[in-house]
Structure 1
Amino acid sequence: MIIWQPGQQINNGRFIIQSILGTGGFGITYKALEPSTGKLYAIKTLNSTMQLREDFGDQQVKFINEALTIKGFDHKYILKVYEVIQEGQLFGVVMEYIDGVTLFKYVQNKGQLSENEALLYIDQIGQALEYIHNKGQLHRDIKPENILLRQNKQEAVLIDFGLTRSLATKSMTNALTEGFAPIEQYRRKGNFGPHTDVYALAATLYYLLTANGLKQEGEICPVPAVNRKYDDEPLPEPKHYNSRISQRVNNAILQGMEIEPEKRTATVFKFRESLGLVSSGNPGEVELKSAVGMDYTRLRDLLKAGKWKEADEETARVMLAVAKREKESWLDVKDIDNFPCADLRTIDQLWVKYSNGKFGFSVQKRIYQSFGGTREYNSGIWDKFGDKVGWRKGGYWLYYNNITDDKKAPETEGHLPFRGCKGGLGGCWGDFYGVSSLASRLVNCNI
């Protein structure tokens, strides 16, 4: 049995073990330092229980094959896997180290989350699951313990793939998590599919919104699927524990946690749609919704053609029109705080879609919050944001005419949209108050 100890050098001295980050049903994860670069990594191996099994060799091959599958994943809400290393008879998977706390511990410390915050994390993990499913894989162990929140950021990352399997695999999974595992994981021949992860994602949202109520009634998780199926134990609706949950979200959770797969929400996209996180219709098209009847056809066409500067100016035009501020030609904080969510979502989705995720208000929000940005002014954070999105060069803020043109697409993530009104430095949202207010409004709108 091999357990690496703090201070131990592995892989010919390339890494030094710092501590144990955690253990699970299959693996043990270590924090490790690479002295040559000063970088920290997480390294996962099979744990002592697995090492003592007679089929340890076969299990280790399976473990490495799954790691190689995950290594091919490239998504901002999925933990990055870099490589496989060997130390004696034990193989380790070198992964991104994230300084943060699991969603489970976060809720334990903070208490149940607001609907807006819970939906933010569920939407992020939902996007990660859609990416996994599109690659023909299932996760099969979605739960708060397997979701990590980056420190000082509202960003969730899926961190544990111990049960990841191909969609084609129909055999029983030997390990599961009570309260979050669907009924098919208890069966010898389960009807697995995207709906399997939908159940666990819905159960995770159930927990995030009801943790206080569950605790008061002596429960630690939603009623296990096997109890509901074979003991006729009912699943209380989420509003039973938290009356502030909206009816839409309450119903979406219950539909996502239907016992039988055939009755359950079929895909993660449909689940996100039922929560109001994505537009209905063809997931490949952006529905041009507006709460005030604004026509976004021209903005869509400009973005589709890659006419970035014209699209930026059209964004300014439609936003001023929506807010009825054409005469003033600028938006103040109150205008942004009250900007219709439907319109903000449409504008953002158009930018995100036609830039392949490079541009958009939600991209800027993620970058701004990644530096710890809030509504309170912080010159250091604001300068870092400006440097990151290319609004500053050489320590100086750029004027609008120097920001972009249509000769080539800007390379910097989050560079656009920028212009919010006529003239001046930054425009209506290209300044601290615009960006900070937009970030806050996006959170409130679940964008």
Structure 2
Amino acid sequence: MRQCVNPDCLFLNPDSFQFCQKCGNKLLLRERYAPQSILGQGGFGRTFLAIDEDKPSKPYCVIKQFLPQAQGTDSIEKASQLFAQEAQRLEELGKHPQIPELMAYFTSDNRQYLVQEFVKGETLQTELDKNGVFSEQQIKKLLIEVLQILEFVHSKQVIHRDIKPENLILSSENKLFLVDFGAAKIVKPQQRTATGTIIGSAEYCAPEQSMGKPLFSSDLYSLGVTCLHLLTGVSPFDLYSPMEGEWVWRDFLNGNVVSDELGKILEKLASPIAKHRYQSVKDVMQELNFVDQNVRRSPSQILPPPPQPPVKIPRPSVTVTSQYQKLEKLLATRKWREADEETKRVMLVVAEVKKSDFESEEDWLNLKSLDFKSIDNFPCEDLRSIDWLWATYSNDKFGFSVQKRIYQSLGGTEDFDHNIWNAFANRVGWIKGEVYENFLYHSDVSFYNIKKSPEGRLPHLVVGGYHCPRGLVCSFVSRLEDCEI
């Protein structure tokens, strides 16, 4: 069905119709986007689930229509400016892999629209309603993942101002997305103490924000309150006692176990007094990591281990020899799939895996992986060259050194451990979930998009391919250690 977006109509029409049967309104926006149904409505607009008819795969997208409830010319003008600012913010912030990408911003029939990437999944509020309260481990992992997103948002001098369970979506790939930047505010130095528009959801809104003076730590307050709600299933209004001047959330745990260490972090996050609160994402992360450094994952947890932010790995420049010039060209032009295949080819050559031992060159290239002896004797200079090329052209997102860091951060050693291997393969996107049989094939092109691909995903074909002996990764990491990579 096609949804009419005329606010006075909203009639559902058959898919083949170009114009609304009821009001005659055009059903395709920009001759491209076909609204399907209403997703929701807020103070500034209405959102629709839509299909992008221009793309062969007909993917879903989200259309947000500016539809202010404000009264008076000045108020509507202000609302219109905020909507336009949201589009500008999304264009920049959508570069983060866990913030929906802005696809278009335009005016049609004197109404403003923005089109965003559709995140398939459920909000954390829906997860709470369906599955009950979150455990301590789920909250810890949620905190780390959202804090990493907020670190990026705050680095762009933006305060989200509306962190709440409804604005956190757990995607079908078990990754959290922060959505709805309609209330976000760009902070300029001269405006840090100025009183601005009062905006945000009252239950999760920091006291200073409710007075029109939001701070970066206001987002941390909202995140802390969100966690308290998810742990108890109770409205934040009922979790705070104005008579006692403190949070009484522990009275509503009903058997849900929360350690004193995490409890103290949450209460400091949600302190009503701004100066008693954590002042930055970094402060929270340091304390959380200190408390939680020995936590292990469980397949039953909702949230997987969050991806670590790319780390700049100091390394000396490498002189690229002629045999790696093709690989460098492919990486420089961001042809990740071809570069992965070229990496396998050159490593087979360097490891002296002879084509003559195979019936055809195709069989040689289809070799599932190098063997243990080839890995143990692989020249360090060549490993450094390949790693340097991958890390340099992916801005330290891909490369052997990145994979080694992730593997060791999970407790991986040269001794094979089935659980650590599965956790590592899941983290870098070689399998889906905790089961190795859920291997993700290279035909899944989306994993070759550097923005969407997990950190450490590539190179893959030589030591991460389907039917690759799982212990080989342990041996490979050991060789990287020997080569000081």
Q: Is the CA contact (8 Å cut-off) linking 1:132 and 1:138 kept in structure 2? A: yes
Give 1:262 deviation, angstroms: 0.7
Distance of 1:185 and 1:199 partners within structure 2: 10
Question: Structure 2 residue aligned with 1:26, among 44, 65, 68?
Answer: 44
Change (3 A) 1:31 1:110: same
Change (3 A) 1:25 1:16: same
Match of 1:221 in 2: 236
- Of structures 1 and 2, the larger Rg is shown by 2
Match of 1:256 in 2: 269
**Secondary structure, counterpart of 1:36 in structure 2:** coil
Match of 1:306 in 2: 388
- 1:90 and 2:108 aligned: no
State the number of aligned residues.
352
TM-score by length of 1: 0.65
**Secondary structure, counterpart of 1:49 in structure 2:** coil
- 1:59 and 2:72 aligned: no
Distance of 2:468 and 2:436 partners within structure 1: 18
Give 1:102 deviation, angstroms: 1.0
Deviations 1:152-206 (A, max 9, x none): x211111111210012343243333233111102225x2x322111101111111
Deviations 1:241-260 (A, max 9, x none): 15411222111000111111
Distance of 2:109 and 2:385 partners within structure 1: 54
Q: Is the CA contact (8 Å cut-off) linking 1:137 and 1:166 kept in structure 2? A: yes
Change (3 A) 1:176 1:58: closer
Gaps of 5+ in 2: 1-5, 14-19, 21-26, 294-308, 314-379, 391-398, 449-453, 476-485
Alignment of 1:332-351 (within 5 A): 332-333=417-418
- 1:383 and 2:383 aligned: no
Change (3 A) 1:164 1:318: closer
Greater RCO (Cα-Cα under 8 Å, separation 6 or more): 1
Change (3 A) 1:363 1:99: same
The two structures, once aligned, show a CA RMSD in angstroms of 4.4
Task: Report the residue type matching 2:279 in the other structure.
Answer: A
Task: Report the residue type matching 1:2 in the other structure.
Answer: P
Match of 1:118 in 2: 139
Distance of 1:318 and 1:35 partners within structure 2: 45
Q: Is the CA contact (8 Å cut-off) linking 1:41 and 1:96 kept in structure 2? A: yes
Distance of 2:33 and 2:310 partners within structure 1: 44
Deviations 1:38-85 (A, max 9, x none): 232101122352487663234212211221122111111111112211
Q: Percent identity, aligned pairs only?
A: 19
Q: Is the CA contact (8 Å cut-off) linking 1:316 and 1:419 kept in structure 2? A: no
Distance of 1:317 and 1:413 partners within structure 2: 10
Give 1:361 deviation, angstroms: 6.1
**Secondary structure, counterpart of 2:246 in structure 1:** coil
Give 1:122 deviation, angstroms: 2.6
Gaps of 5+ in 1: 215-219, 288-297, 326-330, 338-343, 345-359, 391-410, 435-447
Give 1:318 deviation, angstroms: 7.3
Deviations 1:417-443 (A, max 9, x none): 88889xx96343668xx9xxxxxxxxx
Question: Structure 2 residue aligned with 1:78, among 93, 99, 106?
Answer: 99
TM-score by length of 2: 0.61
Alignment of 1:348-387 (within 5 A): 363-365=427-429, 368-369=431-432, 373-375=433-435, 377-378=437-438, 381-383=439-441
Q: Is the CA contact (8 Å cut-off) linking 1:237 and 1:254 kept in structure 2? A: no
Match of 2:248 in 1: 236
Change (3 A) 1:51 1:99: farther
**Secondary structure, counterpart of 2:97 in structure 1:** coil
Distance of 2:281 and 2:59 partners within structure 1: 35
Q: Is the CA contact (8 Å cut-off) linking 2:64 and 2:115 kept in structure 1? A: yes
Distance of 1:205 and 1:320 partners within structure 2: 25
- 1:184 and 2:205 aligned: no
Match of 2:89 in 1: 69
